[in-house]
Structure 1
Amino acid sequence: MKYSTETEDATDRQQKFTFNPKEGIDNPALMISDDPEPNLCPRLCLLVREQGQGFGFHLRKESGCRGHVVQQVAPWSAAERSGLRDGDRILEVNEDFVDNQEYSKVVLKVQASGLQLCLLVLNSAEYETAVSEGIDLMALSRVHRGEDCARPRLCHISRERGIGLGLSIFPIEGKRGKYYVSPVSEGPAERAGVQAGDHLLSINGVVVSKLTHSALMKMFKKSGEYVTILVIDSRSEESYIRRRLPILPAFASTHNLPHIPKTLHLTQGPQGYGFLLRQEKLPTGHIVHLLREVDPCSPAEAAGMEDGDLLLAVNGEQVENSEHEEIVSRIRQSGQQVTLTTISIQGRDYYKQLGLSPLMFYEEYIPQRERFPTNTLPSNNLPCSRLCTLHREDTGFGFKLAYSQNDYRVYVGQVQAGHAGDRAGLQEGDVIVEVNGQRVEHGHFEEVVTLIKKGGTSLTLRVMDKDAFENLSASGVPIVSDVTLHSTQVPDSTQDNFV
C-alpha cells in the first residue's frame, strides 16, 4: 500500500483527481494494491577462525519460543567480522536447515564445523515477522540458495580389480584448474555417488584448482585402494559462485564414507562401567582422550568398546577439546547410564585429512536420552559441583569475587559477558569450592584471591550453585569426593581416571 506524507484537505484531493482512460488513475491516494510480502532478507555469514580459537558467539534456545538465538558476539571475533549480530536467528548451519532441529544438534553442528562455519540468518525483527505471518522459513532458505542448487557430494570410492576406480577425469576447456569427471556405468565411482559431468573439487582433502592435470593424475594413482573426492554438478556450482560462497566439505552429503563413529550405550554395573579413560599425547603432539583397559564381561565390553578408541562425545555433547577432569565429571554425573561416541585413531586421521570433524555427519545418530538436572547427581540426589577452566585474557579472567560474612563463603559477584569466566560457565552467585584443586569453600577472601593469583594464566575453579551449596550445608553433609571429582596426575603427559 502506498501512502502520502503530505497533508491535504478534501478539496485539494478532489481538484487533483483526474482520470485518463489511457493512463488510468493518477491520484496516489486512491491507488489500490495488495499488501506486499514482508521484505525478508536472509544473510549469509561465513565465519573463519584460527586453530585453537572459537568463532566468538553464543547460541541460545529460548524456552517456549522458536529459533536459535545468537548472543554475545565478541568484538573483533570471526563472528563479528562475518557480519553476525546479537539477536540474529539461525536458519541454516552449513547449508543445512536447522530452525526446526533440537538445540543440542544445532550446537553440535557448529562445534563440528572445523575452522570454517557458514550460517544463514535473519535478524530478530525479520524472524518475528516471518513467524507471526506463518511464512515457510525452509522455503525462504531454498529460494535464497536457488531451487536448482544441490549439495556437493563426498564420495568414497574403492578400487576394483580390472576396473580401478571406474572414473575418468578431463580438464574443462578454457578454465584452468577446473575438471569434470565421467564414471563408468555401474562402476565403483558411480556406485559411490559420482555422476556424469560432475565437477571435481578435491581429492583426499586436497583442492584440485591449484593442480595441473598431470599432477592430479599422479595423486589418483598414488591414492592406494581408496580415494575420497568432493564433487558437485555444474548448475549447483553456479549457485555458490553467484552467492560468492566457497564450496566446503562441511556442506556435502556423504556417500559410502568409512570410519563411521560408534555409539556405545553403557549401563553401570556393580564395578562401574569397566574401562579406563586416559589422556594421552600422540606422536603428532595432539592431546586425545582414549578408552583403555576394557574389562572382560564388563558393561563397556558388552557395548562394543575397543581398547584404544578415541572419545568424541558424551551424551551427544562434543568433548574432544574438553579438559580431562571435565569429561570424567560428565560421565559420572550421568548416573547409572551414559552414551559415548567413539572412533578409531585411524578414523580420526581420515576425517582430519578431509578437514572435517568425525561428528560432522553424525547428528542423526545422536541418541535421545533422559537429561538429569544439572545440579543433582542421580545416584544420590546430592547437589553436584561444576568444574570451570579459565584462561587469562588481557583484561583478566572476566569475573569478580564477593564475600559473605554470614556464612564465610566466597562467591562469584559479577561475570563479564563474552570473556573467560562467562565462556567457562561461571554464573553470578556461584560459590567457590576449590581453586586449582585446593579446597576453599569456607576459606577467607584473601586466601582465595592469593590462590587465584598464584595460578598464573590458567585457573580451574570448582563451583556450586548458591541454593545447592546452602541446601548441602544445611543438611550437614560434607562436600566430599563422591560429590566432586579429583583427577590424578600421571607422568609422561598422561592422566587417568577409572569410571
Structure 2
Amino acid sequence: MRYPTGLMDLMEVPQRFIFNPKEGIDNPALIISDDTESAMQPRLCVMKRDQGEGFGFYLHMGRKCSGLAPGHRVGRVEPWSPADRSGLREGDHILEVNKEFVVTKDYMQVVRQIQTSGLQLCLMVLGESEYRTALTEGLDFRVMTRMHHGGSCCRPRLCHIVRDPLNGLGISIIQSEVGKNRYHVNVLPEGPAKKAGVCDGDSLLWLNGAMVSELTHSALAKMVKKCGSQLTVLVIDGECEKCFCHRKLPILPTMAKSHNLTHMPRTLHLTQGPQGFGFLLRQEKLLTGLIAHVLREVDPGSPAEAAGMEDGDIVLAVNGMPVEDAEHEAIVSRIRQSGQTVTLTVISLCGRDFYSKLGLCPLLFYDKDLPLIEEKCSLCSLSHREWSCDVEQTTLSSPRLCVLNKEDSSTFGFNLGSVQNEPGTFIVKVSEESCGARAGLWQGDVVLEVNGRNVEKNYIEEVVRLIRTSGTSLQLLVMERARYEELRHRATEICHKSQVSPTNALFM
C-alpha cells in the first residue's frame, strides 16, 4: 500500500467501465484480488497497568541507515504483561505515542514520553517486516499515521476550571439523547470554563479522573457539587469524537492538550558548593499512601535554596529522567554520580496530590525544556515492580553488554581496529543486518571485555584470538569511545559486566 506524498497521476485510471452483475467488471485492467493493504496497516496497542507495574516491554534504540529515521523498535515483550495483552509484539516499530508522531524523535524523548504516560499508554506500531518494506519503498510514515486516523481527528483537551464568585464554574452538563451515559456541555460566554479551554457543545469524556461513560447523570451532578472551587474535565469536539469512534481509536487523557493546569512541576539547576548541594533527600509515605522522595532540610544560603528548592518538594526526575518509582538508594546514587551539577524536577506536595487525584503523571503536561543528559540517562532492565529508570545504568556513553549469536557459518558482522603498537581495540565497522548490529554494536565502540575477560590492556591479536575461539556465541562489553577516553583521563573506574544489563534497551 503506497501513501501518496503529492498529487496522484489520474491519467492512468480507466475513465469508464461496464458492470454486469452476472459477468462482473467488463474491464481487464480492473482485477479483484486479495486486499494487500491490510499488511501495511499500523496497529493500535492500548495498555493499562497497575500502580507499581511496568508496561512489560523493552524499547531498543534504532540505528540510522542511509539518512533514514532510526526508528524505535520493540524488543522482548513480557508474557501476560499489559503490552502482551494489548497485542504488542517483538520487532514492532513505534510510530506514535499517545497520538503524537515519534518516528523522527530522539530515542530518549520517546522513552520519557512513555514513562510519563502514567497508567495508560496508546502506541501506534508497524510490524518489523512492514516497517522495512515501508523504508525500502520510501513511504511517508507521517502520512501513513494520518491516513490511519482519517486525517481529521484532533486531540482532546484537558481543562482545569477554577470557580469565580460571579459565574461559578460556568459549565453545565447535559445528557445526550443518543447513547446511554453520553454527555455534552454548555458553557457561559467568557465564563471560567470558556477561559479554561472548554467550548460550547463539547463532548464530556472524563471528570476529575473518572470516565463519565460509567456514571449516571445524578452521580455526575454530585461529583460537580463536591468538587469545590476547581474542576478538571476532558472534552473533545463532537465531530472529532465521531472520527475517533469511526476509526475505533481510544480517547485517553494522555492524548490531550492541557489548558489552564495548575501546580506545574519546576526544574532546579544546582551547582555543588563547598558544603555540597545543601539538602536532604528522604523517602516518605504521603497521606494518599504514595511513597515519595521528599526534599528536606534545605540549608539557608545553599545552592539548593538559591535554585528555588523548598522544604517538602517531591522529586519527580533527575537529569530529565523520571525517578518516582525508582528505589530511594538509586536516586541518591544518581544524584551523587551527577558530579558538580545536577538538575532536579520537583513538585509541591499539594501539586502531587492534585495529580494523584486525577490519576495522571505530573510530568505528562510539563512543557518546559527538561534536559536529557544522555550520560546520566538509564537504559537498564528493571524489575517488574519498577518501571521508571533505575540508576544502575547503561547508555551509549556507559558500558553495554552486547550478546552476539551467529547463524551457521556466518560472521559476527563487525571489524576490529587498534592504534598501532598499542593495547586496546575498538569497533571500526558494523555490517548492516548482522548479528553485531542486532546486538547493539556501534562503530567506534571500545571493547572492554570478551566473554567476561577484560581486554583493555590486550593487543588486537589476542582479542581477535579470543573472539575466533568463542564459537557461535559471543559476549562483548563495549563503551562509546569519547566517554571511555574521558573516564580514562579523569582516572575514573569503569564498571564492568556485573554492573550493566545485557541489552541496549530500556524496560518499560
TM-score normalised according to structure 2 size: 0.67
Do the aligned partners of 2:319 and 2:376 also contact (CA within 8 Å) in 1? no
Tell me how far apart the structure 1 counterparts of residues 213 and 402 of structure 2 sit (CA, whole Å): 54
Do the aligned partners of 1:108 and 1:363 also contact (CA within 8 Å) in 2? no
Residue 325, structure 1, aligned to residue 329, structure 2: yes
Tell me how far apart the structure 2 counterparts of residues 133 and 67 of structure 1 sit (CA, whole Å): 16
RMSD over aligned CA atoms reads: 3.9
Q: Which amino acid aligns with 2:54?
A: G
In structure 1, which of residues 115, 118, 125 is the aligned counterpart of residue 119 of structure 2? 115
After TM superposition, give the deviation of residue 466 of structure 1 in Å.
Answer: 9.3
Alignment of 1:59-458 (within 5 A): 59-65=59-65, 66-362=70-366, 365-369=369-373, 371-372=374-375
After TM superposition, give the deviation of residue 414 of structure 1 in Å.
Answer: 9.4
The residue number in structure 2 matching 1:424 is: none
Structure with higher RCO (Cα < 8 A, 6+ apart): 2
Residue 57, structure 1, aligned to residue 57, structure 2: yes
Which structure would you say has the larger Rg? 1
Tell me how far apart the structure 1 counterparts of residues 383 and 38 of structure 2 sit (CA, whole Å): 45
After TM superposition, give the deviation of residue 128 of structure 1 in Å.
Answer: 2.1
Distance 1:240 1:101, change over 3 A: same
- Report the secondary structure of 2:161's partner residue: strand
Do the aligned partners of 1:58 and 1:70 also contact (CA within 8 Å) in 2? yes
Single out whichever of 200-209 and 338-347 deviates more from structure 2.
200-209
Encode CA deviations 1:307-357: one digit per residue, 9 max, x unaligned: 111101111111111111111111111111111111112111111211111
Do the aligned partners of 1:105 and 1:363 also contact (CA within 8 Å) in 2? no
Q: Which amino acid aligns with 1:98?
A: V
Distance 1:298 1:387, change over 3 A: farther
- Report the secondary structure of 1:72's partner residue: strand
Encode CA deviations 1:103-131: one digit per residue, 9 max, x unaligned: 11211121122222111001112222223
The residue number in structure 2 matching 1:45 is: 45
Tell me how far apart the structure 2 counterparts of residues 204 and 130 of structure 1 sit (CA, whole Å): 42
Q: Which amino acid aligns with 2:358?
A: L
Tell me how far apart the structure 1 counterparts of residues 268 and 351 of structure 2 sit (CA, whole Å): 16
Do the aligned partners of 1:109 and 1:363 also contact (CA within 8 Å) in 2? no
- Report the secondary structure of 1:196's partner residue: coil
Structure 2 unmatched runs, 5+? 2-16, 20-24, 386-400, 405-448, 454-476, 494-508
Q: Which amino acid aligns with 1:129?
A: T
Distance 1:429 1:323, change over 3 A: farther
Do the aligned partners of 2:18 and 2:27 also contact (CA within 8 Å) in 1? no
Structure 1 unmatched runs, 5+? 2-20, 376-385, 393-411, 416-426, 432-464, 480-499
Distance 1:478 1:156, change over 3 A: closer
Encode CA deviations 1:437-493: one digit per residue, 9 max, x unaligned: xxxxxxxxxxxxxxxxxxxxxxxxxxxx7999xx9xx99x998xxxxxxxxxxxxxx
Matched residues, percent identical? 54
Tell me how far apart the structure 1 counterparts of residues 136 and 275 of structure 2 sit (CA, whole Å): 54
Do the aligned partners of 1:313 and 1:341 also contact (CA within 8 Å) in 2? yes
Distance 1:331 1:49, change over 3 A: same
Encode CA deviations 1:52-87: one digit per residue, 9 max, x unaligned: 321111001123351001001122222122111111
Do the aligned partners of 2:159 and 2:232 also contact (CA within 8 Å) in 1? yes
Do the aligned partners of 1:180 and 1:199 also contact (CA within 8 Å) in 2? yes
Encode CA deviations 1:280-304: one digit per residue, 9 max, x unaligned: 2223443211111111111111111
- Report the secondary structure of 2:112's partner residue: helix
After TM superposition, give the deviation of residue 387 of structure 1 in Å.
Answer: 10
Distance 1:284 1:174, change over 3 A: closer
Tell me how far apart the structure 2 counterparts of residues 81 and 138 of structure 1 sit (CA, whole Å): 26
Do the aligned partners of 2:297 and 2:311 also contact (CA within 8 Å) in 1? yes
Distance 1:372 1:249, change over 3 A: closer
